[in-house]
Amino acid sequence: MTVAGKPLSAQADPIETAKSARPNRGSLALQDLGSGLSKHWLWRAMAMQDIVLRYRGSVLGPLWLTLSAAIMIAAMGLIYSQLFNIDPIRYVPFLAVGLLTWQFISSVITDGCEVFMSVQHAIQQVRLPYTVHVFRSVFRNLLILGHNAVLIPIAFLVMGHGIGWEALMAIPGLLLLCLNGIWISLLLGMVSARFRDIPPIVAALLQVVFFATPVFWPVENLGRFRHLGEMNPLFAAIDIVRAPLLGEPTAPHSWLIVGIMTTGGLVMTAGFFSRFRSRIAYWV
């Protein structure tokens, strides 16, 4: 029988200590990433369920996502091709790809803010790798994009726009976007869990950015400021997917900008995650 304060001898090597955690925080973060990746069945199933449950009971189900995107593209395609005075045959495919890519990017970012707060309950009840929640969020948005992507060939067909082999370059582009989605979600998820002002700030910014970024208007329209528009990392992100699909050359620096953003973001988030991973459960 031990009464308060009398220490017992401890054997066994520590597997987790706050003191010795300082040097191996990085390896704990890496462990989290590793087991998060190996639990791919978990986040894949969760992401599928997110989508199925959101639309359970509705007649069209997840098709609503696609339908609303289709309506948006049709309406904007008609109006803005007039406003910008561009042939709809050129404009609609451009708009379809740009808008869907933007929707993917922006919902990855907004969901990223909620990535830990929305699963607060699970985080407080069971130990799961934190990266599982991040992969779930990015994968869910990728599934939605996959659905909506059927609109792209439809738009191309209707407008009689051809598609070539160079379209395949959109695949590495999309993979890069996912990689960026992972670090952004992880970083924003942590910061938002700690500072609750972040999600509304991000949501407000995204709205402004949508209009300020060449998503639904061609970057050429900026005239002599065109180069400035091409430096916008969000434009670059859309460009590396859109230009190959449309069979056009990407803007000169798009791949470079996205490459820098990916590397820089991953390095920064790795540091952040290693430092603050153990605090997430306390924050949410």
Partner 1 sequence: MASLHLQDLTVEFPIYQASGRSLKKALFSAPLVGSNLARDASNRIQVRALNHLTLSIEKGDRVGLIGPNGSGKTTLLKTLAGIYEPTGGALHIQGRISALLDVSLGLNPEATGRENIMLRGMYMGIHPKDMQGHVEEVVEFTELGPYIDMPVRTYSAGMMLRLAFAASTCVEPEILLMDEWLAAGDSHFLAKAQKRMEDFVQRSSLMVLASHSLDLLGKWCNKGLYLRNGNVIAYGPLAEVADIYQQSLADT
For tokens 């459960």, name the residue: 281
Task: Give the nearest distance from C-beta 283 to partner 1 in angstroms.
Answer: 8
* Interaction of residue 283 with partner 1, rule CB under 8 A: yes
Binding partner 1 by CB under 8 A: which of 2, 160, 165, 208? 2
Binding partner 1 by CB under 8 A: which of 20, 58, 221, 263? 20
Binding partner 1 by CB under 8 A: which of 47, 65, 123, 151? 123
Nearer to partner 1, 15 or 59 (CB): 15
Task: Give the nearest distance from C-beta 41 to partner 1 in angstroms.
Answer: 6
Name the segment binding partner 1 (CB under 8 A); options: 42-50, 73-81, 86-94, 211-219. 42-50
Binding partner 1 by CB under 8 A: which of 29, 33, 46, 92? 46
Binding partner 1 by CB under 8 A: which of 37, 171, 175, 196? 196
* Interaction of residue 188 with partner 1, rule CB under 8 A: no
Please provide the DSSP assignment of 210-266 as one string: HHHSTTSS-GGGGGGGHHHHHH-HHHHHHHHHHHHHHT-PPPTTHHHHHHHHHHHHH
Radius of gyration for the chain, computed over Cα atoms and rounded to the nearest angstrom = 22
Q: Tell me which DSSP letter residue 60 carries.
A: S
* Interaction of residue 12 with partner 1, rule CB under 8 A: yes
d(CA 159, CA 283): 51
Site mask for partner 1 (CB under 8 A), range 220-259, x = bound: ----------------------------------------
d(CA 29, CA 15): 14
Closest C-alpha among 179, 181, 183, 173 to residue 255? 173
Name the segment binding partner 1 (CB under 8 A); options: 3-11, 85-93, 98-106, 170-178. 3-11
d(CA 140, CA 42): 12
Binding partner 1 by CB under 8 A: which of 27, 56, 64, 225? 56
Q: How is residue 213 written in tokens?
A: 């970024």
State the Cα angle at 210 between 204 and 212, rounded to 5°: 105
Residue 149 sits at φ, ψ, to 5 deg, of -60, -20
Name the segment binding partner 1 (CB under 8 A); options: 81-89, 143-151, 152-160, 192-200. 192-200
d(CA 96, CA 2): 70
d(CA 243, CA 163): 11
* Chain Cα centroid distance, residue 37: 17
Sites of contact with partner 1 (CB under 8 A): 1-5, 7-8, 10-21, 39, 41-42, 45-46, 49, 53, 56, 121-128, 194-197, 278, 281-283
